[in-house]
Structure 1
Amino acid sequence: MRWAWISLGVGCVAIGAVATLVPLIPTTPFLLVAAFAFARSSERFHTWLTTHPRLGPPIREWHEGRLVRRSAKWLATVSISLAFIFSVVIGLPLWVLGAQAAVLSAVVAYIWSRPEPEAVDVRALLATADAD
Structure 2
Amino acid sequence: MKLRPPPITRHLWLGLGFVFTAVGLVGTVLPLLPGTGFLVLAAWCFSRSSPKFEAWLLNLPLAGQLIRDYRDGLGMPLRAKIVACLSILLAVSLSIGRIPVLVGQVTWVLIGLFGIWYIIWRVPLRRVP
TM-score above 0.5: yes
Q: Please give the TM-score of this superposition, normalised by the length of structure 2.
A: 0.74
> Are positions 1:74 and 2:79 aligned together?
no
Counterparts in 2 of 1:1-132, with a 5 A limit? 1=8, 2-65=10-73, 67-87=75-95, 89-90=97-98, 97-98=105-106, 100-113=108-121, 114-120=123-129
1:83-126 CA-partner distances (Å, limit 9, x unpaired): 33235545866666555444433331221122222314xxxxxx
CA contact (8 A) 1:6 1:42 kept: yes
Residue identity opposite 2:48 in structure 1: R
**Please, what is the CA RMSD of the aligned residues?**
2.4
Identity of aligned residues (%): 33
1:23 counterpart SS class: coil
Amino acid at match of 1:64: D
Distance 1:103 1:119, change over 3 A: same
* Mapped partners of 1:74, 1:92: distance in 2: 29
CA distance in 1 between counterparts of 2:23 and 2:96 reads 27
**Structure 2: 5+ residue stretches without partners:** 1-7
Q: How many residues align?
A: 120
Select the structure of larger CA radius of gyration: 1
Q: Distance in 1 between matches of 2:48 and 2:99?
A: 43
